[in-house]
Structure 1
Amino acid sequence: MKFKALYAGVLVGLILLVLFSLGSGLWGGSDGLHWTEQLFSGVCHQLPNRTFTFMGELMAVNTRCFGIFSGLLAGWILIPVLKDMISEKKWPFICLLFAGLLQIIDYSGNLFLLWENTNSSRFLLGLPLGMFSSIVIADLFQSTK
């Protein structure tokens, strides 16, 4: 693996991203807008009915964003383990496209009242989108042959 320091830095950043997304339940409650909610306000709609709670407090991001962030971290952790399986292969990109398509299908089905997605389904569909996003860029961190 080349760029080990960069890989480690991104890993630390993703761990912090997931920890910060847990919100005021982890970092201590506040009466007003918590700093973690402010941190994510530009990237997440943070609707309370679409947000998990953690330690009795709403998380700083909605369930889909938390799934994506958790998936990014999981995929990043898997890069060294899967390095031979993903090196210069097309399947991670195809899986990423499929994960994106699942988001569109889920949103559309809910929009057209074909089904009602839940917080659990949003989280579970966000996981592969984040995971394959990390895995797709894994070739940047592999040794050249």
Structure 2
Amino acid sequence: MPDQRKLLYGIILVLTGVTVMVGLGGGLFNQANPWPLQWQHQAFNSLCHQMVDRSFWINGQPMAVCSRCIGIYGGFAMGWMVLPVLSYYQVKGIASIQKIVVLVLLLNIVDASGDFLDLWKNTLTSRLILGSLLGGSTAMIFSGDFFHQN
């Protein structure tokens, strides 16, 4: 992998890790001010609905994002860390990965729609798992951009 790609990969890895840490909210940092005023919640207020009943809690405070969003961010971070392994094993087939992303996106839409229409009630865990699958599969799309055999 050329040095520019290594640098970009590393920058994205660090930024993704920071995003996950910030998404965990003020409870992780033992902040005392009310959670809606914490900078972590302000950072994500235009990206996530931040409904407290749909968020995991840390140290008595809700995360800055809902369980599905923390799953997406965490799944992307984990998927990003796996990219070098995929390269080592020469995993190919970006078209297959794109199909998986579409399938997982549709599963998230069906899950959210079913809950909205009161067909079922999803849980924090089900949202986290589906979000993680979406984030992780999305990261896999970039495997050909950073790691490919010349």
Among candidates 7, 10, 27, match of residue 8 of structure 1: 10
**Which residue of structure 1 aligns with residue 142 of structure 2?**
137
Instruction: Give the corresponding residue for 1:23.
Output: 25
Deviation at 1:79, TM superposition (A): 0.5
Call closer, same or farther: CA 1:91–1:119 in 2, change over 3 Å: same
Match of 1:67 in 2: 71
TM-score, normalised to structure 1, is: 0.93
Is the Cα contact below 8 Å between 1:67 and 1:126 reproduced in 2? yes
**TM superposition shift of 1:85:** 4.4
Deviation per residue, 1:41-84 (Å, 9 max, x gap) = 11011011111001222111110000000001011001011124
Which string of whole-angstrom CA distances, capped at 9 and with x for unpartnered residues, describes residues 80-134 of structure 1?
A: 1112443344221111011101011101211222111111111111001000111
**Given residue 79 of structure 1, which amino acid in structure 2 is its aligned partner?**
L
Does residue 132 of structure 2 align to residue 127 of structure 1?
Answer: yes
Structure 1 contact 86–92 (Cα < 8 Å) conserved: no
Identity of aligned residues (%): 35
The aligned counterpart of 1:46 is 50
User: Secondary structure of the equivalent of 2:84?
Assistant: coil
Moved over 4 A (4+): none
Q: Give the stretch that moved more between structures: 82-91 or 3-12.
A: 82-91
TM-score for both structures, normalised by structure 2: 0.90
1:36 equivalent in alignment to 2:40: yes
The residue aligned with 1:57 is 61
Q: Conserved in 2, the CA contact under 8 Å of 1:29 and 1:57?
A: no
The answer as to 2:103 corresponding to 1:101 is: no
For the Cα contact (< 8 Å) 1:87–1:142, is it kept in 2?
no
Query: For 1:81, what is the secondary structure of its paired residue?
Result: helix
Following the alignment from structure 1 to structure 2, what is the Cα–Cα distance between the partners of residues 140 and 125? 25
Give ranges in structure 1 of 5+ residues lacking alignment: none
Q: Give the drift of 1:30.
A: 3.3
- CA-based RMSD of the aligned residues comes to 1.4
